[in-house]
Amino acid sequence: MVFLGIQAWNSGRIRVFDFDTGRWGYSPPPHPGLPWAFTEEDGMEMIRWFAPVFTVFLIYKHARPLSESPKTVGFFLGNCMLVAILALIHQFAGWTRMYDFWGMGEVWGIARNSGRDTFGSFGYPNNAATYFILVFSYTLGLFLRELLRDRSERRPVVLTVYATLALLFFFTAQFSVSRTGMLGVWIVLILNLGVLAVIGWPRAHPVQRFYAVFGILLTLTALIAGFRMFAQPAHLREFAAATTKLDPGREFTARFFQVESAWAIWKDHPWFGTGGWGYKYLVGYYLDPEYWGLLSRGKANVHNDFFQFLCEFGLVGMSLLGLVFVPSMFKLLRDCRLCPHHDQSVWADPVRFSLGCGLLLMVAHSMIDLPFRSPAVFAHGALFLLMAQQTHGTRAVWSERVDWRALQPAVRLKNTPP
């Protein structure tokens, strides 16, 4: 935060014309040897973005009684539920503005409808999709943890609540008119079912296997039928674009010029970067004029959060971010090496594994889009990273492998003496 504060304080670069080179450029910052930003507003926006992220991260990391309280989980899920309900109302009521009265452009004094630029309380549907993928992965993990408890410990009411919330977040992501949301929740679901199959199948009784297969097929049928029943033409078009008409090569190459530009900008400003939002001021100088037509609306972002942060914060800023988040990431990866029946293993707790899937998708999405440019996504990603590394108070849902045939009573023929 001090680093970002220095960037905002050391701002004020203005556009000037260099008569020696015959080109437009920018005046130097007030103190060239320190981190800087182009404008004070750009620097302050970074502070407004990162302050809630670090606040949530530090509170949940150090306020142990608060983070372990069921009331905290209830409050958190209640908030997520209201966000999802608002988003669904937005979509099916046909709102063209956020909350049906505020257009995104009005913050710059331009009155216009936002159309597809908003989804519920999000100004960008792809960011909303990542958010709902994360909360779906969390509630799905909670549901599976409760489902896999011993029957005497299972709480039917809690199981029903988690199942309902998981369905709500699944369909909210599906109806976000975002290919990321449509595919992402299915990927999280399939990965969780895959782990259940690989780890749970050898440990399950044949009767349990039958019920599991029947329940999974019934759930998949209901999910597909629910989407087909309520999907609008816009949803069907996006679903087709995400599946049958998806061209991964084109999707990657169409935005790669921005990564190349960000890399070139960083090489000229390796230590402190260009300041928050600095990429948009300089990208035109690093592109040949014949490619300027590629800089359409939305191209103020690199569409790769890693290279955007590297370009705008430099090695110093990226190192500071790493000091905050890398230890938690390392612990999560370290626990992946443990056996499924070990209490500290990621595989032992469905919540940890499911959250790991959601976080992995968030990082993958950040390689082709800009989820971390949303404080809501960034803050929840940081929160779930901490939740995914917690192991205290939880027992492994899996036991060691069971040989059910050895446990079956011996079959006795009729009239055979015992």
Please tell me the predicted confidence (pLDDT) of residue 109: 47
Report how far residue 241's alpha carbon sits from residue 257's, in angstroms, rounded to the nearest whole number: 22
Side-chain-facing half-sphere of 323: CA atoms under 13 Å: 7
Tell me the DSSP string of 91-148: HHTT-SSBTTTB-GGGGGT-----GGG-BTTBSSHHHHHHHHHHHHHHHHHHHHHHHT
326 phi, psi to nearest 5 deg? -60, -40
Q: Which two tokens stand for residue 353?
A: 């594994």
Please tell me the predicted confidence (pLDDT) of residue 108: 46
Please tell me the predicted confidence (pLDDT) of residue 412: 52
Tell me whether residue 19 is exposed, middle or buried, using C-beta atoms within 10 angstroms of its C-beta: 0 to 12, 13 to 18, 19 or more. exposed
Query: How far, in Å, are 43, 301, 375 from residue 33 at the CA level?
Result: 17, 26, 29
Residue 22's H or E segment, with its range, is none
Please report, in tens digits, the pLDDT of each residue of the chain (418 residues total). 999 999 999 998 888 887 877 788 888 999 989 999 999 999 999 999 899 888 888 888 888 777 678 888 899 899 999 999 999 998 888 777 777 666 555 444 444 555 566 788 888 888 999 999 999 999 999 999 998 888 888 889 999 999 999 999 999 999 988 888 889 999 999 999 998 888 888 888 788 888 889 988 998 998 888 888 887 887 778 777 777 776 666 666 667 888 888 999 999 999 999 999 999 899 888 887 777 777 766 677 888 999 999 999 999 999 999 998 888 888 888 888 888 878 788 888 899 999 999 999 999 999 988 899 888 999 999 999 988 887 666 787 877 766 656 555 554 545 555 5
Please tell me the predicted confidence (pLDDT) of residue 80: 94
Please tell me the predicted confidence (pLDDT) of residue 4: 95
Chain-centre distance of CA 402, in angstroms?
Answer: 36
Please tell me the predicted confidence (pLDDT) of residue 317: 94
